[in-house]
Structure 1
Amino acid sequence: MFQTTFLDYLKTELPANTSTIEAVATALDISYDAAHRRVSLKSKLSLDESIALAKYYNLSLDRLFETTSTEFVTIEKTKHIESEAELQQYFEDSYQSLLPLLQQKDSTLLYSAKDIPLFYNLNGDALSQFKYYVWLKLLDPQLANKSFDNFAPSPSLIIAGKQLGSLYSNLNTQEIWDITTVNSTLKQIHFYFQAGQVKSSTALQLCDLLQQLIISIFNKLMAEDHPFLLYYNELHLMNNNVLVSTPNNQLLYVPFTLLSYYKTEDKHTCKEAERFLTKQLQNSKLLNTAGEKERNRFFNKLHAKINALKQLIEATELLDFE
């Protein structure tokens, strides 16, 4: 059954007028007769041959399970990050993974935002560089004792980040936020300020940039020509899951460490995630169409959090007990 499912999938992915037998023979470097026996199911495809075919024609082995079981899912894991070079590679790989999906007409991206979506922190400004600093500080032992003022990300890292962030600028996106979505960034600024790794003037600058980011998201929400929907959910905790949907398939990204994630194209799993996220949307307020009072109330709460941190930093600097 697996072989039949896999070969049927292969046929749908081959260019028009391409012989399946010829395709198998080419990929496996076997004779036409040997390929015919495998396509006609007279001979079994070995595991190595199945993997070779999948790699040669860029096929997902998830399909072997989609029609036979809903309990097993094939996933792909991003590489572990322990250096600036590996963070740059992560940006580049993520760009290459998303680009062909998001270039398809009518593609959408649904983001359950426990934290401010990654794409907003990749424009190369001081706030995005601070996020690079935080990520690498936790992942790269060489940065253990380096302050933010002495941290200088390479131009190639900034370029790779901007390239990934550019995918998000005009994309048809739906984001689900809560008031707590900004908390992790605020905590990071506060923590490294208290640890003496960020100067008070720099910490205040980061708060100002965070407020500018919130304002830009508000402006994007109000722009009638931008395909962006922002939902406010007071009930459920977000989890940073991302569901990309195209006319032909879906792809689910599930975080498992600070930046790394699992991704799968498994149809059953993506549909289950879509149903759950749809329920979240139904229990959320769409701020695009909400009344001015409700919309301003949400954004004012975000700004109040940022202002509270600014006041704490200024008070600490003024008192200077330590």
Structure 2
Amino acid sequence: MEAGQIQSSFFNQIKKQLPPHLSLVDEIADILDVSSDSAYRRIRGEKQISFEEIQKLSVKFSISLDQFLHLKSNSFLFNGYITNDSDFNYDNWLNEVVQQLAFFCMHTPRHHYYVAKEIPFFYYYLIPEIAAFKSFFFMKSILYYADWKTARFSVKDDYSRYYETWNKISDYYANIPCTEIWSIENITSTLHQIEFYRVTGALKSNEDALVLLEKFEELLTHLEKQAEYGVKLKYGQKPSEGLASYNMYSNEIIMGDNMQQLLLGKNLVTFINHSILNFISTTDEMFNDYMKKTISNLAQKSTPISVTNEKERLLFFNRIRAKIAASKALILK
């Protein structure tokens, strides 16, 4: 491939990553601090971009040059954030989730694939008590905030300052068609967290534990309704035409890893979970093609439980409910 073709391909890759309402020329001009005319000439290949400019654009848009230079390497470029850094906190993490979901919703077509190890975390924000507990857990046990070291949780605590952000997450996510692969063990880690906090005194009362378990039963009923009708729902919303599609699978023998892949227009991006709360992402074509095949193969080896297959759907959700009931019995004995 000649230099001009490589440069053209480079800018085409950047264009694919821009939301539809943004101008490629304006973005390039702003990042490189050049005029619109100068940006045009670079995009058209009339002016060669420098190594410094390639570096700026590659960092900004998380682009691997392997795919343009045809380097036969096993390296993939990922982009991400570290949430427990001194200049990044849980509030910033929530806002980043909102921004990412808003960006996803700008694309048509769009589809979200989620290979779940736990309940997909977007659903936590449908119910305030669950969102509050998970936020408490993240800040106390994952981010290790010093102020939360001796903190205790109650469903009556005031987390209202987060309500608007939680609602945005839920609303955006409800507008993204989705395919999820679940296991009945997806609830297990959360049940362990509730029980651990209960016996160690991090919950203010046993009643708080019971209320949380009841709220997870409510969430389960919501998810079961999504699966039954095959559409994404906001909390309390009735199924209707025109809603985002929802495909749910159960897998008895393979635990997921919270890996996600998104189809955005004609492009794919994969998100890999690491260090519990964080994700890194890549737009590398070879990596995404491989992950797409992996998800497809896993779905083929899983049982579809949305829309059709009512018996398997009932069995799946009832088995999860049995786990919640066992946790309740442990508290009440």
The answer to whether TM tops 0.5 is yes
Please classify the TM superposition score into its range, dividing by the shorter chain length.
0.7 to 0.9
Query: C-alpha distance in 2, partners of 1:239/1:65?
Result: 27
Is contact 1:114–1:238 with CA below 8 Å preserved after alignment? yes
Query: C-alpha distance in 2, partners of 1:288/1:26?
Result: 46
Deviation, structure 1 residue 300: 0.9
Instruction: Spell out, residue by residue over 1:104-158, the C-alpha distance to the aligned partner (whole angstroms, 9 max, x if none).
Output: 2221001111000111111351121001011111231221111003994653433
Query: C-alpha distance in 2, partners of 1:245/1:75?
Result: 17
Matches within 5 A, 1:240-279: 240-279=258-297
1:207 aligned to 2:213?
yes
Query: C-alpha distance in 1, partners of 2:43/2:224?
Result: 56
Aligned-residue Cα RMSD (Å) equals: 3.5
Report the structure number with the largest CA radius of gyration: 1
- Name the counterpart of 2:9: 8
1:49 aligned to 2:53?
yes
Which of 219, 223, 229 is the matching residue for 2:225? 219
Is contact 1:177–1:232 with CA below 8 Å preserved after alignment? yes
1:105 aligned to 2:123?
no
Is contact 1:178–1:233 with CA below 8 Å preserved after alignment? yes
Structure 1 pair 278–67 and aligned structure 2 pair: CA distance change class (3 A): farther
Instruction: Spell out, residue by residue over 1:246-274, the C-alpha distance to the aligned partner (whole angstroms, 9 max, x if none).
Output: 23211111111121110111111111111
**TM-score normalised by L of structure 1:** 0.83
Structure 1 pair 3–22 and aligned structure 2 pair: CA distance change class (3 A): farther
Residue identity opposite 2:77 in structure 1: T
Query: C-alpha distance in 2, partners of 1:200/1:210?
Result: 16
Residue identity opposite 1:147 in structure 2: R
Identity of aligned pairs, percent?
A: 22
Residue identity opposite 1:219 in structure 2: K
Residue identity opposite 1:218 in structure 2: E
Deviation, structure 1 residue 239: 0.2
- Pick which of 69-78 and 244-253 moved more: 69-78
Structure 1 pair 42–111 and aligned structure 2 pair: CA distance change class (3 A): closer
SS at match of 2:262: strand
SS at match of 1:149: coil
- Name the counterpart of 1:145: 150
Query: C-alpha distance in 2, partners of 1:160/1:93?
Result: 11
Matches within 5 A, 1:234-313: 234-313=252-331
- Structure 2: state its 5+ residue gaps: 17-23, 233-244
Structure 1 pair 288–38 and aligned structure 2 pair: CA distance change class (3 A): closer
- Name the counterpart of 2:20: none
Is contact 1:5–1:64 with CA below 8 Å preserved after alignment? no
Query: C-alpha distance in 2, partners of 1:214/1:93?
Result: 26
- Name the counterpart of 2:188: 183
- Pick which of 46-55 and 243-252 moved more: 46-55
How many residues end up aligned between the 2 structures? 309
Residue identity opposite 1:250 in structure 2: L
Is contact 2:270–2:282 with CA below 8 Å preserved after alignment? yes
Structure 1 pair 311–106 and aligned structure 2 pair: CA distance change class (3 A): same
- Structure 1: state its 5+ residue gaps: 316-322
Is contact 2:58–2:64 with CA below 8 Å preserved after alignment? no
- Name the counterpart of 1:116: 119
Residue identity opposite 2:82 in structure 1: K
- Name the counterpart of 2:238: none
- Name the counterpart of 1:62: 64
Structure 1 pair 150–120 and aligned structure 2 pair: CA distance change class (3 A): closer
Query: C-alpha distance in 2, partners of 1:22/1:125?
Result: 40
Query: C-alpha distance in 1, partners of 2:113/2:40?
Result: 43
Query: C-alpha distance in 2, partners of 1:143/1:189?
Result: 16
Is contact 1:119–1:168 with CA below 8 Å preserved after alignment? yes
